[in-house]
């Protein structure tokens, strides 16, 4: 029996255990997926080994700590320095990032994007912005502080804090901050959020499982929007394939993960 887990703080809200266990149970794969509340990201590696895990997902706020916890980081995760999936490969921790592809899957229905505003400058923002720039999309990043903006400037994004923001026109605004996850707060001051929402066609939130104040405000302005559920599904399917080394069919994984959303 293989054991998998999600590490995060908070982590109680995470749907990942339901999603992955739905796949394992329905496809008779001998594995189980649990959640671990981890406050200190520097303890990730030792906790992973103490629990004898075969793999893990990493959520807020440990995705950058997860990068340093790995013995080797592959593909897109290496480029962005952000890991959301770890696989135990013969005692070595191998890191991947499936969030960005999960998000691209989620926004397909909005059509082609030319101009995206990203709220937040954390691990998820890094992954998404890098993917957008790679896809030739013009990206603006708005964060409450300037501390984490250097990466985004280097990447070629236009970067602002709340104090120096120069607004533009956007196809999509994405909330990648954790504002709205635990507390009922907007990712930026109300006045700014209202101005931004007047300049966008679509809005998306990485947070799932609840209507955040950001989504509520978007809906009140009659903007087509979506929460992070499809992103979660997209990243989860890709992570599951890595966990079990592609032993199950993608369509079957997707089918049973989607079913878990009905629970
Ligand atoms: P990080 O901790 O790496 O980054 C958080 C970001 O949010 C930082 O830019 C931080 O700003 C900003 N922030 C935090 N609190 C506030 C606040 N009160 N007001 C304004 N900005 C704030 O988190 P992650 O990037 O790992 O995750 C971000 C969110 O995305 C989480 O809610 C997570 O659940 C969600 N997520 C969902 C996924 C899905 O599959 N649907 C996948 C990945 C993430 P500062 O730099 O100033 O501290």
Q: What is the tens place of the pLDDT at every residue in 187-203?
A: 999 999 999 999 999 99
Q: What is the pLDDT of residue 64?
A: 92
Residue 28 has pLDDT above 90, yes or no: yes
Atom of ligand 1 nearest to the CA of 235: 40
Atom of ligand 1 nearest to the CA of 64: 3
Q: What is the pLDDT of residue 42?
A: 98
Q: Per-residue confidence at 262, pLDDT binned at 50, 70, 90?
A: confident
How many residues are recorded in the chain? 263
Q: What is the pLDDT of residue 69?
A: 98
Chain segment 190-241, per-residue pLDDT in tens: 999 999 999 999 999 999 989 999 999 999 999 999 999 999 999 999 999 9
CA of 90 to the centre of ligand 1 (A): 32
Structure tokens at 251: 């369509």
Q: What is the pLDDT of residue 263?
A: 74
Mean per-residue pLDDT, 59-78: 96
Q: What is the pLDDT of residue 24?
A: 98
Mean per-residue pLDDT, 165-188: 97
Could you give the CA distance from residue 30 to residue 253 in angstroms, rounded to a whole number?
Answer: 14
CA of 240 to the centre of ligand 1 (A): 23
Q: Taking CB atoms and a 6 Å cutoff, what residues make up the pocket around ligand 1?
A: 59-61, 63, 99, 102, 120-125, 143-145, 147-148, 176-179, 181, 185, 187, 206-208, 228, 231-232, 235
Chain segment 39-63, per-residue pLDDT in tens: 999 999 999 999 999 999 999 999 9
Chain segment 79-101, per-residue pLDDT in tens: 999 999 999 999 999 999 999 99
Residue with the smallest CA separation from ligand 1 atom 7 is 177
Residue 67 has pLDDT above 90, yes or no: yes
Express as a percent the part of the chain with pLDDT over 90. Answer: 98
* 9, 103, 124: residue to mutate for ligand 1 pocket, most atoms within 8 A of CB: 124
Q: What separation in angstroms does the CA of 218 have from each of 78, 176, 205, 212, 225? A: 34, 15, 10, 10, 7
CA of 179 to the centre of ligand 1 (A): 7
Using only the alpha carbons of the chain, give its radius of gyration: 18
71 contacts: CB under 8 Å, gap ≥ 6: 92, 93, 94
Average pLDDT of the chain is 97
Q: 93 forms bridges with which residues in the sheet?
A: 88
Report the first-to-last Cα separation within the chain, whole angstroms. Answer: 24
Strand residues in the chain grouped as ranges (E)? 2-8, 31-37, 55-58, 72-73, 85-89, 92-96, 115-119, 138-143, 158-161, 170-175, 200-205, 224-226
Does the predicted model carry a pTM greater than 0.75?
yes
CA of 178 to the centre of ligand 1 (A): 4
Could you give the CA distance from residue 233 to residue 22 in angstroms, rounded to a whole number?
Answer: 12
138 is a catalytic site residue: no
Residue with the smallest CA separation from ligand 1 atom 8 is 122
Torsions phi, psi for 16 (to 5 deg) = -55, -45
Residue among 43, 63, 138, 182 flagged as catalytic: 63
Residue with tokens 């959640």: 35
Q: Per-residue confidence at 10, pLDDT binned at 50, 70, 90?
A: very high
Mean per-residue pLDDT, 108-127: 96
Residue 134 has pLDDT above 80, yes or no: yes
Do residues 235 and 98 touch, judged by C-beta distance below 8 A? Answer: yes
């Amino acid at each position: 029996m293989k054991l998998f887990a999600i590490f995060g703080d908070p982590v109680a809200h995470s749907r990942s255990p339901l999603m992955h266990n739905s796949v394992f149970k329905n496809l008779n794969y001998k594995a189980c997926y649990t959640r671990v509340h981890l406050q200190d990201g520097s303890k990730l590696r030792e906790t992973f080994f103490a629990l004898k895990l075969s793999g893990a997902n990493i959520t807020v706020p440990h995705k950058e700590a997860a990068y340093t916890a790995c013995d080797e980081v592959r593909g897109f995760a290496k480029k962005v320095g952000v890991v959301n999936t770890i696989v135990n490969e013969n005692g070595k921790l191998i890191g991947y990032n499936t969030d960005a592809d999960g998000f691209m899957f989620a926004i397909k229905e909005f059509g082609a994007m030319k101009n995206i505003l990203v709220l937040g400058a954390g691990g998820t923002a890094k992954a998404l912005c890098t993917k957008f720039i790679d896809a030739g999309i013009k990206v603006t990043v708005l964060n409450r502080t300037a501390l984490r903006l250097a990466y985004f400037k280097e990447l070629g994004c236009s970067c602002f804090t709340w104090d120096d923001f120069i607004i533009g026109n956007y196809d999509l605004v994405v909330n990648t901050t954790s504002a709205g996850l635990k507390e009922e707060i907007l990712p930026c001051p109300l006045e700014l959020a209202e101005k931004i929402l007047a300049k966008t066609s679509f809005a998306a939130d990485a947070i799932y499982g609840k209507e955040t104040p950001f989504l509520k405000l978007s809906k009140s302005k009659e903007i087509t929007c979506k929460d992070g559920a499809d992103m979660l599904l997209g990243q989860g399917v890709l992570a599951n394939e890595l966990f079990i080394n592609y032993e199950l069919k993608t369509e079957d994984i997707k089918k049973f993960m989607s079913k878990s959303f009905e629970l």
